[in-house]
Amino acid sequence: MDITRKLNCSLPEDLWADLDERVKNTGKPLDQVASGCLGTALQLARHSIFQVSTSTALVEGVYQGAATIAEIEQHGDFGLGTYEDLDGEGMMLEGKCYQARGDSVIVPPGMTRVPFWVATRFRADRTETLSDILNWEDLCERLTKLRTSDNLLAAIRLDGLLDFVHVRTAGKSAPGTDLVTAASRQKEFKFESVKGTLLGFYTPMYARTINVPGYHLHLLTDDRKHGGHVLEVRAARLQASVHLTSFLHLGFPDNQEFLQADLNKDPAEALAKAEGASATKS
């Protein structure tokens, strides 16, 4: 037997008008219309990725803030990105955002601005334990077996003890500095026997102008002291979770830097140089 519960809430006048019009057009009672709309909206959110700006814009040096952390957190509880002026690597885990600057990690204020971010409401569709991970290439091959299609974006989460992990963190760069040049000045760190989470996304090659193609993962250690963009990894055992998605919501910046940038170039080669292993392995 289905269990039903009553919902008592206030609605904006325009939303109430939309519901009333739906009732008139369908001939269904209000409770059925409201339940149907709510179910559709929740399912849409469940299988969606929300993104601010594009990988091509980053390649061209469009680093100006296009959204705030507070706005990003309204669209997901999991994800990654970077901060205004390329000021560090961004991680969102279990609803909280982190900023890796050099060898430290902070929780940035809600009004901190970001030029690029990808977020989703992570709910694992497939979970599997991966054993004896030899390197980045091996990890990518294992993850590919957990996905159902090479043509859909997917969110990836891996938890456990990392025998070795090599990461890098972005440093502040002047707007207009291309990503390859900016990446050449970034700091790199290597950790052994550290517990943490690797989090990020798989993007098909055909979408390379939108997001970093292949697997793009960031590290956040359990003690929240270290993080960064993953370049290499080894682990004896990791718990892998994959969240499959069907919808992409893309928000374009409205600043002059984005509007006037030349975004017609193929960013694949530049992304491969700037992102290292993460951009080239799928």
Q: Do 80 and 20 fall within a single domain?
A: no
User: How many other CB atoms are there within 10 angstroms of residue 25's CB atom?
Assistant: 9
Q: Do 76 and 178 fall within a single domain?
A: yes
pLDDT number for residue 2: 53
pLDDT number for residue 89: 96
SS (H, E, C) 74-97: CCCCEEEEECHHHCCEEEEECCEE
- The answer to whether position 211 is within a domain reads yes
- What is the full per-residue pLDDT of the chain (282 aa) written as tens digits? 456 677 788 878 887 888 888 888 788 788 877 776 665 565 556 678 999 999 999 999 999 999 999 999 988 999 999 999 999 999 999 999 999 998 899 999 999 999 999 999 999 999 999 999 999 999 999 999 999 999 999 999 999 999 999 999 988 888 888 888 888 888 999 999 999 999 999 999 999 999 999 999 999 999 999 999 999 999 999 999 999 998 899 999 999 999 999 999 899 889 888 877 433 333
Phi, psi of 65 (to 5 degrees): -60, 135
Q: Do 80 and 210 fall within a single domain?
A: yes
Q: What's the CA gap between 146 and 128, in Å, rounded?
A: 8
- The answer to whether position 62 is within a domain reads yes
Q: Do 62 and 37 fall within a single domain?
A: no
Q: Do 161 and 79 fall within a single domain?
A: yes
- The answer to whether position 125 is within a domain reads yes
Q: Do 164 and 201 fall within a single domain?
A: yes
* Angle (deg, nearest 10), helices 13-26 and 30-46: 110
Q: Which domain holds residue 33?
A: 13-46
Residue 216 pairs with which residues in a beta bridge?
201
- The answer to whether position 8 is within a domain reads no
- The answer to whether position 226 is within a domain reads yes
Q: Do 111 and 79 fall within a single domain?
A: yes
- The answer to whether position 260 is within a domain reads yes
Q: Do 23 and 97 fall within a single domain?
A: no
Cβ neighbours of residue 277 closer than 8 Å, sequence gap 6 or more: 136, 137, 230, 231, 232
Q: Do 177 and 94 fall within a single domain?
A: yes
Q: Is residue 145 within a helix (H) or strand (E), and if so which, with residue range?
A: helix 136-146
Residue 89 pairs with which residues in a beta bridge?
82, 100
Q: Six-digit token pair at 28?
A: 């269904």
- The answer to whether position 6 is within a domain reads no
| Mean pLDDT for all residues in the chain | 89
**Domain count for the chain:** 2
What is the model's pTM?
0.83
Q: Do 26 and 144 fall within a single domain?
A: no
CATH number at residue 266: 3.30.1330.80
pLDDT digit string, tens, across residues 196-205: 999 999 999 9
pLDDT digit string, tens, across residues 102-153: 889 999 999 999 999 999 999 999 999 999 999 999 999 999 999 999 999 9
pLDDT number for residue 14: 81
pLDDT number for residue 282: 35
Q: Do 102 and 149 fall within a single domain?
A: yes
Q: What's the CA gap between 210 and 87, in Å, rounded?
A: 21
pLDDT number for residue 1: 43
Q: Do 135 and 274 fall within a single domain?
A: yes
